[in-house]
Structure 1
Amino acid sequence: MTHSTRDKILIAAATMLGEDPTARLSVRAVATRAGVSTGSLRHFFPTQRALIDEVVARLHEVDLPDDPMQDLTRTPSERLVACLQLVLSQVGTGEQARNHWGSLYNAYVASPASEDDSHVFLALEQFAVHRVVRWLAALHDEGALAPGELEHHARFLLTVVNGLLTERALPGDLARLEFEERTLTTAASAILRRLP
């Protein structure tokens, strides 16, 4: 299957963000990765912000293969916990988790982020919220979700996940892994409707 130049650019940028969410999507780096000229990239995406917005918009449309939320043989809590574990698994453990956390710290905390870098971070954060909202919407449609705004519930769950991601980067991370599922189950129970 051949891709258009525009698609090649989007695939390259999405791949770079997938490999490193703190990647600097410079025109030159993305064009090189896509195998196109910088002029071609600028033709389709005049600014870095336009490129980021399009990449994230496309990510919103992607369905996860083997999405745990679709497994109706499991309880709502089990499915939600499995979805959150999927988010955690993308970071890994040990050195991989430390590298991920260090990259985020260096890109967004150690020094003020540029306007473009802030835009990338906020776009990726909104994508994460959107993904969790989609899972919660399925639970809401089933009547399994407690009252409240979906985005509020999603941000609460992502705060818990971010805490667990930080723990994975700290010494003793493997000893804490056994507590992750219990922590996620506790968080899930806070937003799920208590069934009689």
Structure 2
Amino acid sequence: MGDRRTQIIEAAQSLLAEGDGTLSVRSVAARAGLGASTLRHYFPTQRDLFRAVFDAGADGLISDFRIRDRSVPADERLRECLEQLLPPLQSDDSSNPSWIILLADILRPGGPEAGRTAWGAAATRARERGTTWLELLREEGVLAEGSVRGHTDFLLTVVDGISVSRAVPFERLDPDQERGVLDTAIRSVLRTP
């Protein structure tokens, strides 16, 4: 029953929204009104459960916006898509606490599995979407020579760098500098007219 899978994912998401980052099988099963063995039928490992929860969350966050709209310049369309992968800017120019916590969890040896799984799911989705965007631009004839995978990896590395810059308050780029860096990266993967 596909609805059970959705029911389990929604129960896990509600626990996460309440601040329970552990997502234990028992707590998720209880929230979903199921036994642990039923949950294990749909998600044999805790990693499978984490991945499904974070994938479901990422699916609703990344949009293609106007990437197919050829009336808009390709660089603008690609920038619009890439900018959504960045964490929100803090209005007071301070560090972004949620990103610092996530980065700390990922980098800390023995840190929570949920943080690494969330980052992995987000990175996988970003790579999939980025590849799709660049494939569309290749079909349109505006992508520079080279592999789509290589161009995607390059652009996502730039996005990751800007993300880290937003997370920590040291030597942060201002919004105009960020846009300049992103525009330079975009120009390097597009054909020049």
Question: For the superposition of Structure 1 and Structure 2, which TM-score range results when normalised by the shorter chain?
Answer: 0.7 to 0.9
1:139 to 132, 137, 140: 137
**1:77 and 1:189 in contact (8 A); partners too:** yes
Give the corresponding residue for 2:106.
108
Q: Please, which moves more after superposition, 169-178 or 150-159?
A: 169-178
Q: Please, which moves more after superposition, 62-71 or 150-159?
A: 62-71
Q: Distance in 2 between matches of 1:97 and 1:68?
A: 31
Give the corresponding residue for 2:71.
73
Give the corresponding residue for 2:25.
27
Give the corresponding residue for 1:92.
88
Q: Distance in 2 between matches of 1:162 and 1:24?
A: 25
2:158 to 157, 160, 169: 160
Structure with more helix by fraction: 1
- The aligned amino acid for 1:30 is V
- Runs of 5+ in structure 1 lacking a partner? none
Q: Distance in 2 between matches of 1:158 and 1:181?
A: 14
Query: Structure 1 vs Structure 2: percent identity of aligned residues?
Result: 34
Per-residue Cα deviation, 1:79-132 (whole angstroms, up to 9, x for no partner) = 0011111212xx212289622321222211122447776555434322221111
Give the corresponding residue for 2:7.
8
Q: Provide TM-score, normalisation by structure 2.
A: 0.76
Question: SS state of the match for residue 174, structure 2?
Answer: helix
Per-residue Cα deviation, 1:119-168 (whole angstroms, up to 9, x for no partner) = 55434322221111111111111011112222221111111111111221
Shift of 1:14: 5.9
CA RMSD of aligned residues (A): 3.5
Q: Distance in 2 between matches of 1:77 and 1:63?
A: 21
**1:81 and 1:185 in contact (8 A); partners too:** yes
**2:79 and 2:183 in contact (8 A); partners too:** yes
Q: Please, which moves more after superposition, 116-125 or 142-151?
A: 116-125
Give the corresponding residue for 1:82.
80
Q: Provide TM-score, normalisation by structure 1.
A: 0.75
Residues 64 and 108 from structure 1, CA distance in 2 versus in 1: closer, same or farther, beyond 3 angstroms?
Answer: closer
- The aligned amino acid for 1:10 is I
1:177-192 equivalent positions in 2, closer than 5 A: 177-192=175-190
**2:95 and 2:167 in contact (8 A); partners too:** yes
Question: SS state of the match for residue 67, structure 2?
Answer: helix
- Runs of 5+ in structure 2 lacking a partner? none
1:168-179 equivalent positions in 2, closer than 5 A: 168-171=166-169, 176-179=174-177
Question: SS state of the match for residue 68, structure 1?
Answer: coil
Count of residues in Structure 1 that have an aligned counterpart in Structure 2: 188
Residues 42 and 106 from structure 1, CA distance in 2 versus in 1: closer, same or farther, beyond 3 angstroms?
Answer: same
Q: Please, which moves more after superposition, 155-164 or 50-59?
A: 50-59
**1:24 and 1:117 in contact (8 A); partners too:** no
1:43 to 41, 44, 48: 41
- The aligned amino acid for 1:128 is A
Q: Please, which moves more after superposition, 107-116 or 128-137?
A: 107-116
